[in-house]
Amino acid sequence: MHESFVKGKSLPEAYHKALVELYEHGETLSCKDYNQQQKELAMTFIAEDPLAEPMISRLIIGGFYELQQYVMEVLDGILDFKIGDSQNAWEYTYHDRIVNFPKQSGQKLNQLQFVIDELKRSPDSRRAVINIRDNSVDPYNSHPACLQHIQFLIRGGKLHAKVLMRSNDGVEATFMNAFAFVMLQKKVAEALALPVGSYAHRANSFHCYEKDFALLDQYVNGIKTKEEDGITYEYEGFFQDMMAEAIPDIEKAVANLRNSK
Q: Which residues are CB-contacts of 235 (< 8 A; sequence separation ≥ 6)? A: 53, 54, 55, 56
Nearest to 44 by CA among 9, 11, 18, 10: 18
Query: Which is nearest to 68 in space by CA: 243, 186, 241, 240?
Result: 243
Averaged pLDDT for residues 58-75? 97
Q: Output the CA–CA distances (angstroms, integers) from residue 84 to 33, 78, 139, in the order listed.
A: 23, 15, 17
Q: Give, for 41, the enclosing helix (H) or strand (E).
A: strand 36-47
pLDDT of 244 reads 97
- Using pLDDT thresholds of 50, 70 and 90, give the confidence band for residue 80: very high
pLDDT digits (tens, 9 = 90+) for 222-250: 999 999 999 999 999 999 999 999 999 99
Residues above pLDDT 70, as percent of the chain: 98
Alpha helices in the chain (DSSP H): 11-25, 64-76, 94-99, 111-121, 174-191, 213-225, 240-259
For the chain, which residues make up each domain, given as ranges?
45-205+228-259
- Mean pLDDT, rounded, of the chain: 95
Contact 144, 134 (CB under 8 A): no
- State which amino acid sits at residue 202: R
Sign of the alpha-carbon torsion through 35, 207, 232, 179:
positive
d(CA 192, CA 194): 5
pLDDT above 80: residue 256: yes
pLDDT confidence bin for 34, thresholds 50/70/90: confident
- Write down the pLDDT at residue 225: 97
Q: Quick one: average pLDDT of 41-69?
A: 97
* CB count in 10 Å sphere of residue 258: 12
- The CATH number of the domain covering residues in 45-205+228-259: 3.30.572.10
Query: 29 has which bridge partners?
Result: 38
Q: Please check the confidence at residue 64 and state whether its pLDDT lies above 90.
A: yes
Q: Are 125 and 119 in contact (CB under 8 A)?
A: yes
Say yes or no to pLDDT of 90 above 90: no
CB 254 within 8 A of CB 78: yes
- Please answer whether residues 243 and 62 qualify as being in contact, where contact means their C-beta atoms are separated by less than 8 angstroms: no
Q: What is the pLDDT of residue 89?
A: 62
Q: What is the pLDDT of residue 88?
A: 63
Give the distance between the most distant pair of CA atoms in the chain.
56
CA distance 120 to 251: 33
- Does this model's pTM top 0.85? yes
Residue 195 preceded by cis peptide, ω within 30: no
Q: Which residues contact 180 (CB under 8 A, 6 or more apart)?
A: 70, 71, 73, 74, 75
State how far Cα 151 lies from the chain centre. 13
